Amino acid sequence: MSTTKSLTATKKVVIHLRATGDAPMLKQAKFKIPVMDKFAKVIDFLRRQLHRDTLFVYVNSAFSPNPDELVMDLYNNFGFDGKLVVNYACSMAWG
């Protein structure tokens, strides 16, 4: 389909948010983010959308990215076709 393009600083990546465990699904599960943004922005977006402070956020390679990582680096390692799948789960309640 498309040749693999390397991301430049002006590009954006589509973040595809995936609910796992008992986390609620979002109405808006996809959004674009500049590649030079930090992963912390994705986490903050999730927190605001879900109204929760504590989330477990990870990507499809059994890996939880550090909030300081650049979206560009995460895409290059874990993304494909211009999108990065980010999974999230909510904290369990203590029982």
Partner 1 sequence: MEVLSWDGTLSSRDFQAAARVFAENWKQFNPALPPWTWVPCLKQPSRLSQEQGYLSLEKICLLGSNKEDEQEDVDEEEPEPVDNATLIESAGPQVCYYDFHIVYSDSYRVPVLYFRGYYIDGQPLAWDEIEKDLPACSSKVLLESKWTFITQEEHPHLNRPWYKLHPCGTSEWMKLLFLGDESLATNGVAVEQYLVSWLSVVGQVVGLRIPFDMLNHHKSCN
Interface residues toward partner 1, by CB under 8 A: 20-21, 40, 43, 53-54, 56, 58-68, 73, 77, 87, 89, 91-94
69-78 exposure pattern, b = at least 16 Cβ within 10 A, e = fewer: eebbebbeeb
Q: Which is nearer to partner 1, 24 or 66 (CB)?
A: 66
Do residues 71 and 83 make contact, with C-beta atoms less than 8 angstroms apart?
Answer: no
How far apart are CB 10 and partner 1 at their closest, in Å? 23
Q: Which is nearer to partner 1, 32 or 77 (CB)?
A: 77
How far apart are CB 90 and partner 1 at their closest, in Å? 9
Which residues are within 8 A (CB) of 80 and not within 5 positions of it... i.e. 6 or more apart? none
